[in-house]
Copies of this chain bind each other. A is one copy, B any other.
Amino acid sequence: MGMWSYALAYLAAGLGAGLVTFGAGFGIGKIAAAAMDGTARQPEAGGAIRITMIIAAAMIEGIALFGVVVCFLLASIKP
């Protein structure tokens, strides 16, 4: 019965990596879509908008990287 604990760890690693990527893709996608929409509407504000976008995207990136590292940790558990 001891093996089962690793089985669920592996399952969680795969599904978790998928969920993390989906979350990051959804969030950064929404941000960047708004950034590009704004740049097209006000080209002279493009620099300020890009800096704002990078700050916000880096925050999501930090959480997502931490989340993927948790999944990586789960995937590399050795029985």
Q: Which residues of A contact B (CB under 8 A)?
A: 1-46, 48-77, 79
Q: Which residues of B contact A3 (CB under 8 A)?
A: 1-2, 4-5
- Known: A10-B74, A73-B72. Contact between A26 and B28, CB under 8 A? no
Please give the count of copies of this chain that the complex contains.
5
**12 A–B pairs (Cβ distance < 8 Å), ordered by A:** A6-B10, A9-B10, A21-B60, A30-B30, A35-B52, A39-B48, A40-B49, A43-B45, A43-B48, A48-B50, A61-B63, A73-B75
- The answer to whether A68 touches B68, judged by C-beta atoms less than 8 angstroms apart, is no
Q: Which residues of B contact A73 (CB under 8 A)?
A: 72, 75-76
Partner among B16, B31, B54 whose Cβ is within 8 Å of the Cβ of A15: B16
- The answer to whether A45 touches B39, judged by C-beta atoms less than 8 angstroms apart, is yes
